[in-house]
Amino acid sequence: MFEILSSLLKYLFVTVIYLFIYGVIRLIYLDIKSASGQKFEIKKNIPYLKLINIREQFDFKVEEIYMLGKDVDMGRSAKNKIIIRDPYMSTKHARFTYKDGKYFIEDLGSTNGTFINGRDVKGTAMPLKDGDKIRVGQVDFLFVHGG
Amino acid sequence: MMKLLSLKRPVNMLVLANILAFGLLYYYKKPYDKMVLIEGLIVTGLICLSYFFIIKKNMGDGYLFLVVSMLSSLGVLMIYRLDQDRGFKQILWLVIGIGLFFMSYYLYGKVKIKDKLMFYYYAASIFLFMTTLVIGSSINGSRNWILIGGYSFQPSEIIKILFVLTIACYFKNSEQIIFNSKSVNLKWKLDNTKIISKIAFFLMVYSYIGFLVMQREWGTALLLFLIFFMVLYVFDNDIKLLLLNGAIAAIGGIGGYFFVHHIKIRVQMWLDPWADIAGKGYQITQSMFAISAGGFFGRGIGLGDPYLIPEVKTDFIFSAICEEMGVFGGIAVILLYFLLVYRGFKIALYIKDLFKKTVALGITLMFGFQTFIIIGGVIKLIPLTGITLPFISYGGSSLVSGFIALGILQALSKECYSGEEDVSDAEEQ
């Protein structure tokens, strides 16, 4: 009984150990991939989004600070610069653009809308100033522009 | 729910491996022993609980504990298969080890003046050395055990960690030597010169190694030297020092070969064990037979003949793993140690503070070199030394000191992972 079990199991056992190793390597790889985009120090004059809500209330991963560059897309899909897997956000939800010294936000046709200080952005690019509150899906951000 | 049970989550694979292992052990010997299942449940449950605790509380790097628990589970499996009593003891030590892991994690965070305690570490080590010399007993030729009650305990395992801390204290101060050319004020009444402080440091290091040589613990002596050499290479710009230390080691090695009978035999058996298969070369030839008998997938757990190998529960446990789980199993074990060392290096690279960086580096090197020395010895890559395979070999002191070192490494890794990398979320891609 034991002999048969053991002889059969040896293949399975080795496979399980290798799946474990594969799983760990995969997680490490994913961590490196997702972390390499995020670690900035806050530089002066570069605006950033600061999370207003409590991070732990969400069961999806969201950062406290997102730095904004020239053209930054935000949404659920991994193709965006800012990836937030909020079920109430669309795949491509909003875009932050920089033009003539000012930052703008436009809604990319999202299902639930993008709101600045309570007002719906709806289609056109709205200018952002320091202290504006942005709401996408369930997440509230503060737009901080030090310059 | 399916995501929770997915094959890709390493935690699930760990649990599955444990279930398979303990399930198999249950059927191993008639009468079927229900205790095995209970123990298996406890071990698996404890590992899972600890892992989720580490993740939820953001206690730093999640992978360290994961890899180490896989190794420990493999170790428990093999040792239980070899000897039920020892297997049960190993499980006991594993539970104690995990407890000490968390304890050393918390304690490391609390003690703030770790980097100023260099002479206390040294004094503690000297104290341990002295006790071993006075009341120690010889087991298998090395006078490295202290027997208290029914339990034997190897102080050299603790001394390894103290050594890493001592070196780290020194190199924290060396920042001033390298960058400012100011002198380092040691608390002894020595002159305040660069050179004398370095010499004092070297004397300290070699006294560690010297004590170990006196106790005939060649493996640990070699290990400490390698750690010291590597850390010196990393932190010091002076190549002359490296060459000097290398020369001293070479002289020591050659002297050992000629003057110490035991070392001479080990080297001869490394070069040609087949000349004396039944006598001095028995250990290594049996080990080679066992590894080759395993083939790729092994003969199956419980179906091999590991008892033919002497010291199979400690030094040669890797050969037993290769025999019963095949070369693939052995390679998997080596890969797991690779992962551990990789994470350790990553942590050491990321830390900015010089003392912490050196401690992380030292601990990683400790695990890495120890693994290399024993696996290399067992497969006849280098001469055999009596050192344990971390987390897998039977041994309370070895397991416990491994977990303490891991706890320190975990505490250091907290800096790199201030809540941003979430292991379980990265899976949802």
Specify which of A3-17, B32-46, B297-311, B371-385 reaches the highest per-range mean pLDDT.
B371-385
What is the number of alpha carbons within 13 Å of residue B385 lying toward its C-beta? 22
CA-based nearest distance A1→chain B, Å: 8
Beta-sheet strand order (sheet of A102-107) = A82-83, A72-75, A94-99, A102-107, A126-128
Cα torsion B323, B328, B329, B333: sign: positive
CB B62 within 8 A of CB B423: yes
Q: Which pLDDT score, from 0 to 100, does residue B256 have?
A: 84
Residue B427 CA to residue A22 CA, distance in Å, equals 13
Residues of B in contact with A9 (CB under 8 A): 20, 24, 300-301
CB contact under 8 A, A13 and B7: no
Q: Which residue of B has its CA nearest to A78?
A: B429
Residue B177 has pLDDT above 70, yes or no: no
Residue A50 CA to residue A29 CA, distance in Å, equals 27
pLDDT category of residue B115 using cuts at 50, 70 and 90: low
Residue A79 has pLDDT above 50, yes or no: yes
Residue B2 CA to residue B361 CA, distance in Å, equals 39
Q: Which pLDDT score, from 0 to 100, does residue A32 have?
A: 78
Residue B147 CA to residue B176 CA, distance in Å, equals 44
Residue A39 CA to residue B25 CA, distance in Å, equals 47
Alpha helices, DSSP H, located in B1-154: 10-26, 34-56, 62-82, 84-110, 118-135
B-interface mutation test, from A1, A16, A77, most B Cβ less than 10 A away: A16
Q: Which pLDDT score, from 0 to 100, does residue A146 have?
A: 67
Greater pLDDT, A39 or A125? A125
Q: Which residue of A has its CA nearest to B9?
A: A23
Residue B36 has pLDDT above 60, yes or no: yes
Please list, in sequence order, all residues whose beta carbon lies within 8 angstroms of the beta carbon of residue B32, skipping any fewer than 6 positions away.
B26
Q: What is the ipTM of this complex?
A: 0.78
Which among B425, B236, B412 has a CA at the least distance from the CA of A83?
B425
For range B232-242, the mean pLDDT:
81
pLDDT tens digits, B139-166: 766 667 777 766 778 888 888 998 998 8
Residue B250 CA to residue B268 CA, distance in Å, equals 17
Greater pLDDT, B20 or A123? B20
B-interface mutation test, from A1, A6, A63, most B Cβ less than 10 A away: A6
Please list, in sequence order, all residues whose beta carbon lies within 8 angstroms of the beta carbon of residue B405, skipping any fewer than 6 positions away.
B160, B161, B164, B363, B366, B367
For range A62-74, the mean pLDDT:
80
Residue B193, class by beta-carbon neighbours within 10 Å (0-12 exposed, 13-18 middle, 19+ buried)? Answer: exposed
Fill in the DSSP letter of residue B137: E
CB B401 within 8 A of CB B55: no
A-interface mutation test, from B24, B69, B71, B352, most A Cβ less than 10 A away: B24
Residue B394 CA to residue B375 CA, distance in Å, equals 15
Tell me how far CA of residue B45 lies from CA of A16, A48, B78, in angstroms: 18, 43, 19
Residues of A in contact with B301 (CB under 8 A): 6, 9-10, 13
Q: Which pLDDT score, from 0 to 100, does residue B189 have?
A: 37
Greater pLDDT, B21 or B188? B21
Q: Which pLDDT score, from 0 to 100, does residue B95 have?
A: 93
Q: Per-residue DSSP letters for chain A?
A: -HHHHHHHHHHHHHHHHHHHHHHHHHHHHHHHHHHTTT-----TT--EEEE-S-GGG-SS---SEEE--SSEEEESSTTSSEE---TTS-SS-EEEEEETTEEEEEE-S-SS-EEETTEE-TTSPEEE-TT-EEEETTEEEEEE---
Percent of residues, chain B, with pLDDT higher than 70: 86
CB B72 within 8 A of CB B399: yes
CB B303 within 8 A of CB B339: no
For range B191-197, the mean pLDDT:
58
Q: Which pLDDT score, from 0 to 100, does residue B94 have?
A: 93
Residue A60 CA to residue A76 CA, distance in Å, equals 11
Residue B185 has pLDDT above 50, yes or no: no
Residue B387 CA to residue B336 CA, distance in Å, equals 19
Residues of A in contact with B16 (CB under 8 A): 16
What residues of B are in the A interface, CB distance below 8 Å? 7-10, 13-14, 16-17, 20-21, 24, 27-28, 63, 66-67, 70, 74, 297-303, 324-326, 328-329, 332, 335-336, 339, 343, 420-423, 425-429
Token pair of A96, please? 């932050």
Asked if the peptide bond before residue B310 counts as cis, ω within 30 degrees of 0, the response is no
Q: Which pLDDT score, from 0 to 100, does residue B3 have?
A: 60
CB B310 within 8 A of CB B316: yes
Tell me how far CA of residue A131 lies from CA of A52, A116, A136, B311, in angstroms: 12, 10, 16, 70
Residue B406 CA to residue B65 CA, distance in Å, equals 8
Residue B418 has pLDDT above 60, yes or no: no
Residues of B in contact with A38 (CB under 8 A): 420
Residue B192 has pLDDT above 80, yes or no: no
Residue B241 has pLDDT above 70, yes or no: yes
CB contact under 8 A, B325 and A14: yes
Interface size, chain A vs chain B, as Cβ–Cβ contacts under 8 Å:
106
Residue A45, class by beta-carbon neighbours within 10 Å (0-12 exposed, 13-18 middle, 19+ buried)? Answer: exposed
CB contact under 8 A, A17 and B70: yes
Residues of A in contact with B332 (CB under 8 A): 14, 17-18, 21
Residue A145 CA to residue A73 CA, distance in Å, equals 18
Could you say which of A20, A26, A63 has the minimum Cβ distance to residue B420?
A63
Residue B388 has pLDDT above 80, yes or no: yes
Mean pLDDT score across all residues of chain B: 82
Q: Which pLDDT score, from 0 to 100, does residue A56 have?
A: 66
CA-based nearest distance B288→chain A, Å: 20
pLDDT category of residue A63 using cuts at 50, 70 and 90: confident
Q: Which residue of A has its CA nearest to B63?
A: A24
